[in-house]
């Protein structure tokens, strides 16, 4: 009887005074807290941060299930790795016998959902900076191959009401989505992309859909679905009917164009990340973009000087991608001419780096041979799991021979995971030796495959840059610069004649 009536103590973290409850999630309650500066405060705590107020998520350890524990570990792991001006910062995490405490940045302006409700709906001019800040976070995550999976107004916090800076929060269901895609159902239904509810794998384009729903809600004060129950909402999301954007909406053509691109139910017709980040509704700060591109360009030079050809090519391609994006929207003709020349020279340098990288991969790509008959002593027919793992590695060989390196890497990873697990438990010394030889052989194959896959992806990125730059008729041809000057001169002369 005593156990049933046992009351869990309230959260209590040394050096902090807990105040109002800010909110409650699926596995934790967030409180506003004030840091009490003491000589006993931990050296690596938040004592040296800029403010005395923090948001502390308190998770009752007794209420944790296996799934919520995985979400918690995932969130802590990600927040330790990602630092961005528009992502809520985690300063520290601690625990006692009752709670796990995550000490985070406090945002005094509440969340975006409250902000929208207080104003019923936002003008395009008001919504645009919000979406631009979310886009900066998405670009940061995209470059790290992380999908947030739960973008919604409640997970977007504001530093203040009058001059709000957005902070994306709650990375509990965020994940790395590999080339094979994901099938797990994650996120909040109202902001969930249609493909998540299908039976086919999806990729990180689901975040683009969520941003589309958020932008729609900002502009019209409500999400684009009308429903009275969960089943109706599911049917609305899975419907093939295009999302209706009111014809009389007071929004610009570029805003409407972005909304239509984001809210395509078919992910293959949805706006791409590349075009989203470059969209005129999003892309405005050319000065910081140029600084970033120049920095990548200089990093490429330093990496080449140090002998890291792959990193040099990676930085060079990213710099070129930024320059091409700037050229598309820049109205400064002189700067565009300089950047065009830089892109042309950069593509030539990138081609040279690519050839050197491929030569290096070929020279270091020899894999030690192993006897195919050595697998016979493992009795693969009697071990279905190990037999399937071996077959995955053989599939990897076939994919690599066909230059399908992404699929090959996936197959090697699956096979090696099982083999490594089997090697840890194998007691027969002969079989153990054979297993270790096989693992060594396929690890070398997998490493070679990874290098080739990265080189192939960089080559694809270079081709995309060439395709983009080909749209600008002056970019790849020096003589076109002179042509442009002549056209301007002729235009001025015609004006004078008229």
SS3 of the chain: CCCCCCCCCCCCCCCEEEEEEEEECCCCEEEEEEECCCCCCCCCCHHHCCCCEEEEEEEEHHHCCHHHHHHHHHHHHHHHHCCCCCECCEEEEEECCCEEEEEEECCCCCEHHHHHHHHCCCCHHHHHHHHHHHHHHHHHHHHCCEECCCCCHHHEEECCCCCCCEEECCCCCCEECCCCCECCCCCCHHHCCHHHHCCCCECCCHHHHHHHHHHHHHHHCCCCCCCCCHHHHHHHHHCCCCCCCCCCCCCCHHHHHHHHHHCCCCCCCCCCHHHHHHCCCCCCCHHHHHHHHHHHHHHHHHHHHCCCHHHHHHHHHHHHHHHHHHHHHCCCHHHHHHHHHHHHHHHHHHHHHHHHHHHHHHHCCCCCCCCHHHHHHHCHHHCHHHHHHHHHHHHHHHHHHCCCHHHHHHHHHHHHHHHHHHHHHCCCHHHHHHHHHHHHHHHHHHHHHHHHHHHHHHHHHHHHHHHHHHHCCCCCCHHHHHHHHHHHHHHHHHHHHC
Identify the CATH homologous superfamily for domain 16-105. Phosphorylase Kinase; domain 1 (3.30.200.20)
Q: Which residue has the higher pLDDT, 432 or 270?
A: 270
Q: Is the pLDDT of residue 405 over 80?
A: yes
Q: Is the pLDDT of residue 268 over 50?
A: yes
Strand partners for 104 = 55, 90
pLDDT of residue 46: 43
Q: What is the pLDDT of residues 280-294, one digit of tens each?
A: 888 766 777 788 889
Contact 446, 409 (CB under 8 A): yes
Q: What is the mean pLDDT of residues 436-464?
A: 84
Q: What is the mean pLDDT of residues 476-498?
A: 43
pLDDT of residue 462: 80
Q: Which residue has the higher pLDDT, 210 or 335?
A: 210
Whole-model pTM?
0.62
Q: Which residue has the higher pLDDT, 207 or 186?
A: 207
| Fold match flag (112-278 vs 286-364) | no
Contact 161, 115 (CB under 8 A): yes
The architecture CATH gives domain 112-278: Orthogonal Bundle (1.10)
pLDDT of residue 103: 92
How far is residue 155's CA from residue 28's CA, in Å, rounded to a whole number? Answer: 14
**What mean pLDDT is reported for the chain?**
82
Contact 111, 157 (CB under 8 A): yes
Class of domain 286-364: mainly alpha
| Domain residue ranges of the chain, discontinuous segments joined by + | 16-105, 112-278, 286-364, 372-456
Q: What is the pLDDT of residues 2-59, one digit of tens each?
A: 455 567 788 888 889 999 988 876 678 899 999 886 644 544 444 444 567 899 999 8
How far is residue 87's CA from residue 128's CA, in Å, rounded to a whole number? Answer: 18
Q: What is the pLDDT of residues 144-180, one digit of tens each?
A: 889 999 999 999 999 887 778 899 998 888 888 877 8
Which of the following is catalytic: 150, 207, 321, 461?
A: 150
Q: Which residue has the higher pLDDT, 255 or 177?
A: 255
pLDDT of residue 370: 52
Q: What is the pLDDT of residues 344-399, one digit of tens each?
A: 888 888 888 888 888 887 777 555 555 444 554 556 667 788 888 888 999 999 99
Task: Tell me whether residue 150 is one of the annotated catalytic residues.
Answer: yes
pLDDT of residue 379: 62
Q: What is the mean pLDDT of residues 311-332?
A: 82
Q: Which residue has the higher pLDDT, 327 or 298?
A: 298
pLDDT of residue 26: 63
The architecture CATH gives domain 372-456: Up-down Bundle (1.20)
**pLDDT tier at 267 (50, 70, 90 boundaries)?**
very high
How far is residue 416's CA from residue 96's CA, in Å, rounded to a whole number? Answer: 39
Q: What is the pLDDT of residues 117-126, one digit of tens each?
A: 888 888 887 8
Nearest to 116 by CA among 240, 11, 220: 220
């Amino acid at each position: 009887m005593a156990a049933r009536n046992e009351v869990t103590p309230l959260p209590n973290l040394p050096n902090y005074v807990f105040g109002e409850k800010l909110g409650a999630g699926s596995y934790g309650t967030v409180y506003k807290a004030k840091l009490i500066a003491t000589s006993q405060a931990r050296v690596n705590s938040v004592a040296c941060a800029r403010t005395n107020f923090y948001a502390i998520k308190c998770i009752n350890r007794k209420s944790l299930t296996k799934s919520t524990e995985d979400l918690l570990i995932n969130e802590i792991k990600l927040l330790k790795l990602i630092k961005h001006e528009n992502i809520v910062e985690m300063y520290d995490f601690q625990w006692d016998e009752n709670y796990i405490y995550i000490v985070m940045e406090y945002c005094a302006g509440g969340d975006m959902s409250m902000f929208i409700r207080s104003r019923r709906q936002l003008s395009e001019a008001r919504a645009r900076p919000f979406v631009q800040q979310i886009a900066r976070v998405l670009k940061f995550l995209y470059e790290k191959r992380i999908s947030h999976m739960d973008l919604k107004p409640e997970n977007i916090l504001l530093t203040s009401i009058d001059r709000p800076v957005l902070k994306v929060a709650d990375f509990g269901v965020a994940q790395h989505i590999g080339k094979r895609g994901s099938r797990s159902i994650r996120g909040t239904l109202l902001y969930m992309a249609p493909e998540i509810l299908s039976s086919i794998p999806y990729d990180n384009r689901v975040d683009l859909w969520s941003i589309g729903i958020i932008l729609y809600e900002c502009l019209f004060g409500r999400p684009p679905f009308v429903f009275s129950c969960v089943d109706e909402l599911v049917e609305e999301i899975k419907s093939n009917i295009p999302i209706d954007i009111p014809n009389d909406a007071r929004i610009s053509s570029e805003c409407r164009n972005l909304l239509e691109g984001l809210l395509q139910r078919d992910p293959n017709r949805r706006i791409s990340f590349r075009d989203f980040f470059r969209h005129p509704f999003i892309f405005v700060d050319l000065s910081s973009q140029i600084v970033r591109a120049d920095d990548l360009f200089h990093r490429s030079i330093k990496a080449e000087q140090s002998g890291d050809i792959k990193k040099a090519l990676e930085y060079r391609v990213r710099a070129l991608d930024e320059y091409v994006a700037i050229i598309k929207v820049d109205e400064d003709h002189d700067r565009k001419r300089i950047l065009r020349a830089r892109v042309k020279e950069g593509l030539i340098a990138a081609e040279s780096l690519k050839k050197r990288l491929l030569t290096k991969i070929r020279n270091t790509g020899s894999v030690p041979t192993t006897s195919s008959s050595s697998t016979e002593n493992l009795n693969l027919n009697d071990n279905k799991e190990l037999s399937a793992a071996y077959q995955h590695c053989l599939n990897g060989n076939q994919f690599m021979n066909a230059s399908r390196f992404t699929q090959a890497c996936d197959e090697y990873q699956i096979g090696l995971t099982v083999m490594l697990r089997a090697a840890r438990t194998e007691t027969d010394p002969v079989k153990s030796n054979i297993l270790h030889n096989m693992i060594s052989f396929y690890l070398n194959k997998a490493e070679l495959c990874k290098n080739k896959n990265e080189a192939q992806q960089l080559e694809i990125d270079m081709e995309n840059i060439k395709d983009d730059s080909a749209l600008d008729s002056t970019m790849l041809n020096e003589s076109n610069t002179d042509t442009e000057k002549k056209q301007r001169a002729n235009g001025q002369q015609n004006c004078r004649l008229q």
